[in-house]
Structure 1
Amino acid sequence: MVESEAHKKYEFKRTLEALRNKKGRGTELISLYIPHDKQVHEVASQLREEFGQASNIKSRVTRQNVTGAIESLLSRLKLIPKAPENGVVIFCGAVDVGANKTDMETYIIEPPEPITSYKYHCDSAFLLTPLEDMLHEKKSYGLIVLDRREATIGLLRGKHIEEMAHLTSTVPGKQRKGGQSSHRFQQLRLIAINEFYTRIGDAASEVFLGVDPKDLQGIYIGGPSPTK
């Protein structure tokens, strides 16, 4: 199962790398992102509207390439009665193949994660950012490193550590000032320590609650033994 998922991720990455090298002239490459809950007949209707608008493009070559790509998309949609669970992405357009020639190419991708929004995008390159974001490491570990002077809160994603918050305390040293009783000094010191730990807890909650619970695998706490 793990090998299968790793292989799928590898193939998905290779596909994106190949698409990244596809270039068009002007805004002739179309990227169509269809979420699971988007009705295919609504997408087809919107494409027909885009076809009508494309007929106003001044450049004859660009007009033919864009309308040709939209016609290809419409024909592909007839084979998709409903978008899959994670949605579907269709890339289509006149790709520059060199020697002043283009080739109409179409690619259909079922992404490894759900598509969250509908997109119709025309450019000289395919819109890959939403799919590339799916390759980023999402599993995270919370990190808290602290002593009674300062604390740092971070997130470990893959091999990368991102510092999210840094706090310093007002806890006095162990040596009391002249004129203060030892008991009074220790009380004030314990109050300051407790307040600092509360601030750390509040800051950690703010950071870690902002991470999807499915992705937060655990929290590691480091520091001198008395502080943990």
Structure 2
Amino acid sequence: MSEVSSKELYEFKKSLKELAEKKGKGTELVSMYVPPTKQLSDIIKQMRDELGQSANIKSKTTRKNVQSAIEVIMQRIRMITNDNKELPNGFVLFVGMIPKGGPGNEKMETVVIEPPEEIQTYRYICDSTFYLEPLEDMIASKEVYGIAVIDRNEATIATLKGKRINVVANLTSGV
């Protein structure tokens, strides 16, 4: 994270704080973490399946809001695909209907974030709040520790920074 300027870090923290304050009704808010290695066509396929599954949601307003969020996600992913933009750390999508007063005054909000560190695993989460823990972990102050795991046949050397383990080497014994 050393290549991120203090201004970018400030703006990143500010956007996380704003996202943390947003609450939805039911499980209408969608958080999607996409690593750079994930095929976007696979995500589109999954979203089509989710769109079909969302027809089973009992609450009419929740069903409509979830389906709208899924459609927005598919549109955003198509835009990212068409732009051919290089995203070396992957990206995070936050989409959902945010209440802006009384019932019926919800507004669809979409936020795309390019994280300061690489996204490790693909996650698709629907909840009443946005799932921010992986991004918050990225900005937490972290000390780096060295780890060596050794047994009779092999050894693994890694670093631990925050909650992230980076395997440096995996060695096997010739014995």
Instruction: Give the TM-score band, short-chain normalised.
Output: 0.7 to 0.9
Q: Name which of 63, 83, 87 aligns with 1:84.
A: 87
Q: Is the 8 A contact 2:145 2:159 kept in 1?
A: no
- CA deviations on 1:155-192 (whole Å, 9 max, x unpaired) are xxxxxxxxxxxxxxxxxxxxxxxxxxxxxxxxxxxxxx
> Counterpart in 2 of 1:130?
134
Aligned partner of 1:46 in structure 2 is 46
* TM-score normalised by the chain length of structure 2: 0.78
Question: Match for 1:119: what amino acid?
Answer: R
Q: Which amino acid aligns with 1:87?
A: G
Any unmatched runs of 5+ in structure 2? 150-156, 162-175
How far has the Cα of 1:140 moved from its partner? 4.3
* TM-score normalised by the chain length of structure 1: 0.60
- Listed as ranges, the matches of 1:196-215 within 5 Å are 211-212=159-160
- Give the structure 2 partner of residue 102 of structure 1: 106
1:139 is displaced (CA, Å) by 3.5
Q: 2:100 is paired with a residue of what secondary structure?
A: strand
What secondary structure, in the 3-state scheme, does the structure 2 residue paired with 1:112 have? Answer: coil
Which of the numbers 107, 117, 125 marks the counterpart of 1:121? 125
Pick closer, same or farther for the CA change 1:60–1:141 going to 2, 3 Å: closer
Percentage of pairs with the same residue: 45
Structure 1 residues 96 and 139: alpha-carbon distance in aligned structure 2, compared to 1, 3 A threshold: same
Using the alignment, how far apart are the partners of 1:42 and 1:141 within structure 2? 36
In the other structure, the counterpart of 1:145 is: none
Distance 2:14 2:33 in 1: 19
Q: Which amino acid aligns with 2:92?
A: V
Following superposition, which runs of at least 4 residues in structure 1 exceed 4 angstroms of deviation? none
Give the 3-state SS of the residue equivalent to 2:125 in structure 1.
strand
5+ residue gaps, structure 1: 143-203, 214-228
SS state at 1:55 partner: helix
- Map 1:1-228 to 2 at 5 A: 5-81=5-81, 84-100=87-103, 101-140=105-144, 211-212=159-160
The corresponding residue for 2:170 is none
Counting matched residue pairs gives 150
- Output one character per residue of 1:47-106: Cα deviation in whole Å (capped at 9) or x when no partner: 110000001111110000000000011111111126711000000011111222211100
Higher relative contact order (Cα pairs below 8 Å, separated by 6+ residues)? 2
Which AA in structure 1 matches 2:142?
Answer: K
CA distance in 1, matches of 2:95, 2:135: 16
Deviation string 1:103-133 (CA, Å, 9 cap, x unpaired) is: 1100000000000000110000000001000
SS at match of 1:16: helix
Cα deviation, residue 137, structure 1: 1.1
Q: 1:4–1:111: structure 2 CA closer, same or farther, 3 Å change rule? A: closer
Q: Secondary structure at the match of 2:76?
A: helix
Distance 1:139 1:95, change over 3 A: same
For the residues of structure 2 that align with 1:48 and 1:141, how far apart are their CA atoms? 42
Shift of 1:141: 7.9
